[in-house]
Chains A and B, each alone.
Chain A
Amino acid sequence: DAGVIQSPRHEVTEMGQEVTLRCKPISGHNSLFWYRQTMMRGLELLIYFNNNVPIDDSGMPEDRFSAKMPNASFSTLKIQPSEPRDSAVYFCASRTAGDGQYFGPGTRLTVT
């Protein structure tokens, strides 16, 4: 199994630009999670989906952030417009019922 796939691995963009992060979960997993990790705040859950439906988005920082899961094999996290404080590593994870979550390698986002 290829594991959770994230793209891009690194993204550098200017403040005000739109950023789209992509995730392909492990085949057969029915839950998908988006996290953000920074030195200051540690690991934060932003949003998660169950069977492609958003279940809890209470961790999404503000309206600039949005996430979609149009089908079982693809999800996006969009930031529009981006700000320097959004700089972080963004992880996607997936799981199947009764198991732990499996993380992707992350996308390191730098907003200048």
Chain B
Amino acid sequence: GNSVTQMEGPVTLSEEAFLTINCTYTATGYPSLFWYVQYPGEGLQLLLKATKADDKGSNKGFEATYRKETTSFHLEKGSVQVSDSAVYFCALSGYNTDKLIFGTGTRLQVFP
């Protein structure tokens, strides 16, 4: 079945450091891929998405590229801020389904 695997957290960085959060997936067909962010005490927010191979999703300085050859969708940001501290979830939506399969989430902590 479909599944998503994320790197274990927490990821701890200093402000302005480069961020990578790894995400790999297993799916049949051609899933759509998503990154969600959850700030403390809030719901999940859709951060970015990609719907086909080689698509790059981007938003608020974050980027992720849909790599079918490596079944990956790693999240990157060139310079993190303290305000980026949150939990990040990778997710996929299989072909012809409304359901999202979430990874377990990766906590990011950014210190000044």
Contact = CB atoms under 8 A, between A and B. Distances in A.
Contact of B99 (A43, A48, A103): A48
Given A56-B99, A91-B44, A95-B98, A43 B89 contact: yes
Interface residues of A, number: 22
A51 B45 CA distance: 23
A55 B43 contact: no
Interface size class of B (residues with CB under 8 A): 10 to 19
Nearest to B35: A100
Interface of A: 4, 31, 33, 42-43, 45, 48, 50, 55-56, 91, 93, 95, 98-106
A49 to B, nearest CB: 9
A90 to B, nearest CB: 10
11 contacts: A4-B43, A42-B105, A45-B100, A50-B98, A55-B98, A91-B43, A98-B51, A100-B46, A100-B91, A103-B45, A105-B43
